[in-house]
Amino acid sequence: MKKPIILFDLDGTLIDSTEAIVLSFYNTFEKFSLEKPKREDIVKNIGHTLEDMFISLGVSKDLVDECVLEYKRNYRKRSLSMTHLLPNAKDAIEFAYSFARLGIVTTKTGRYSKEILEHMGIMKYFEVLIGREDVEHPKPHEEPIQKALYQMKSSTLDVWMIGDTKLDLLCAKRANVNAVGVLSGYGKYEELKEHSDMIEKNSLDAVKFILQNYTK
């Protein structure tokens, strides 16, 4: 029997690094003497690429690349100490691992994401981690999921993506895989519902739903 594949988003789905992200943006804006954005404007854009986030926060395109590098320097200093697993996330991962093959698809930098998951002792559950630097076209484009499945040498059509924003659900839809939205992160119910009929409270509930509904 072929196992299903479950791909997880990170921020808002399995981990919470909101404070590390917000502080790293603040440090970057201070470094370049830019007007500090509102916290809520940063938070509502989490899940998008750093480039898109800086542009949406008013940074000129000619300064974006420098801002991204400065952000990454700041984020790496605090990412391990200021990131934690969301409630039920480890249970979700371990439960999913008992019947499925697992991967991570994120717009975060893959290198730093692996460091965080290794620090938490959970990277061992995942066969692949696709980060921002691994693709030309990030979510909501289908490339991240396609690359994950290619690296996993997938031979099953039973693939599920779990994520907390419309970017995750659109990525899944475009890659022609199942999408389960979760309300543990940054996306609102009404927004998620536009892109998937399958919405659960958190990643553990999403995994339980998949166990009940994948083709056995």
Residue with tokens 């009940």: 212
CA distance 205 to 200: 6
- Among all residues, which ones are annotated catalytic? 9
Contact 213, 160 (CB under 8 A): no
Burial category of 83 from C-beta neighbours within 10 Å (exposed 0-12, middle 13-18, buried 19 and up) = buried
Query: Residues 6 or more apart from 200 whose CB is under 8 A from it?
Result: 180, 181, 182, 183, 206, 208, 209
Query: Residues 6 or more apart from 127 whose CB is under 8 A from it?
Result: 101, 102, 103, 151, 152
Give me the phi and psi of 161, to 5 degrees please. -115, 130
Of 159, 132, 145, 157, nearest to 52 by C-alpha is 132
CA distance 194 to 179: 12
Residue with tokens 């940054």: 186
